[in-house]
Structure 1
Amino acid sequence: MTMNTSPALHRALEEPGFRPLPGTVVVLLEAVQAPPRLAAHLRAVHDVACDLSGWVGDRYPAAGADPGAVAFGAATHDIGKALHPGELSGPGQAHEFAGYELLLSYGVDERLARFARTHSSWHEDGIGIDDLLVSLADKVWKAKRVRDLEQLVTDRLAVASGEAPWQAYVALDDRLQRLAEDADRRLAYQSAYPV
């Protein structure tokens, strides 16, 4: 813990029960004095994203998912909310480009910084499987299901594996249902921290 890290942020970053964030992300969150609730949210989404990308890597290796990129993307996707804290408890998209710019300003490669601006733009051109997995994790962590997003992931998995789309959908649906079962615990964890 650095001298400027609040005790609540430190607890959000260290509390047992979720995978730890990558060390570089912890340093970034401390540097921007992220609100504790933001850190808790990023840990919850990161945990789901790691599970999801591991599952895709095992079952659909030809999809080409990069677990490291997905983990980093999930761990930083909302970092712009440190600059727009009103969006922690209310709607808004200003955090997306702000987060992207913030990450670039700290020397994060564009290949990884992009998740801050793509996590809610899954229909744009150039969106890859890694972006889709971060977007999906950002929904299913709280048991939210988004049909068009899930269809995009299903299509990528089916093409990569040669499975019929319905088979890929059934497999993905099963995995998402399992992840959604733990949503109450993740929501309680996030809510325990101040905005």
Structure 2
Amino acid sequence: MTADAGLRRALDEPGFRALPEPVTVLLEAVAAPPRLAAHLRAVHDVACDLVSWIDERYPAAGADAAAVAFGAATHDIGKALHPAELSGPGAQHEPAGYELLLSYGVEERFARFARTHAAWNEDGIGIDDLLVSLADQVWKGKRVRGLEQLVVDRLAVASGEAPWQAFLALDDVLGMITEGADRRLAYQSTHSVASG
């Protein structure tokens, strides 16, 4: 199977929401590795579930569903330029992804997720950034207490609920999401880290 066919398979296989069309075009333009596309689809799917739940239960939180969906769909795009970070540690993909998105004409308000998805504990991070960061962790079943607490704090302030109530609500939805982690990890692992 050619790398282009592998990318197409990662983008088109059933089981997860399709990425926004501009993201698909961008991934093809940068010859993204199939595993990157699979990862982005899995995180995007989780992020869409999270933001849908937030919009329904905590509308006053002011989450921007379109921004969260786009951010989750592109947060690791810099790994197309730093493919070693697909299977190992590294943070070069973060600024590289941000610059790559800007170079393709993506607005800064959408491109920022490439650099903020791992910087969730810095000042000035909004609810949309936190949701992309959370989706990037929980898709694989990882729970990050500090990140979750920041989301709980935002939800409690927006809703007027006691923090423990927001915690229980978020914990329930994250528990349901983590139940699908094995399926998402298996899906990602069936795709090659090699690009064309």
TM-score tier, shorter chain, comes to over 0.9
Encode CA deviations 1:132-165: one digit per residue, 9 max, x unaligned: 0000000000000000000000000000000000
**How many residues align structurally?**
192
| Cα separation, 1, equivalents of 2:91 and 2:14 | 30
Deviation at 1:5, TM superposition (A): 6.9
Within 5 A, what are the aligned runs for 1:127-142?
Answer: 127-142=125-140
- Check conservation: 1:115, 1:131, Cα contact below 8 A: yes
| RCO higher in structure (CA 8 A, sep ≥6) | 2
Give distance in 2, aligned partners of 1:143 and 1:56.
Answer: 19
Match of 1:116 in 2: 114
Q: 1:88 aligns with which of 53, 67, 86?
A: 86
In 2, distance between residues paired with 1:42 and 1:170? 28
* Counterparts of 2:25 and 2:126, CA distance in 1: 27
The percentage of aligned residue pairs carrying the same residue is 78
Q: Unaligned stretches of 5+ in structure 1?
A: none
Using the alignment, how far apart are the partners of 1:24 and 1:6 within structure 2?
A: 17
Where do 4+ consecutive residues of structure 1 move more than 2 Å? none
Structure 1 Cα separation of the partners of residues 10 and 121 of structure 2: 32
Task: After TM superposition, give the deviation of residue 125 of structure 1 in Å.
Answer: 1.5
Structure 1 contact 5–30 (Cα < 8 Å) conserved: no
Q: What TM-score results when the alignment is normalised by the length of structure 2?
A: 0.97
Partner of 1:35: 33
Give me the whole-angstrom Cα distance separating, in 2, the residues matched to 1:7 and 1:82. 16
Inter-partner Cα distance in structure 2 for 1:69 and 1:58: 17
Q: Say whether the 8 Å CA contact 1:77–1:116 is kept in structure 2.
A: yes
Cross-structure match for 1:99: 97
Q: Distance in 2 between matches of 1:141 and 1:39?
A: 14
Q: Using the alignment, how far apart are the partners of 1:108 and 1:124 within structure 2?
A: 23
Q: In 2, distance between residues paired with 1:5 and 1:84?
A: 17
Unaligned ranges ≥5, structure 2: none
1:78 correspondence with 2:76: yes
| Length-normalised TM-score, structure 1 | 0.97
1:19 and 1:141 map into 2 onto residues whose CA distance is 14
SS at 2:56's partner residue? Answer: helix
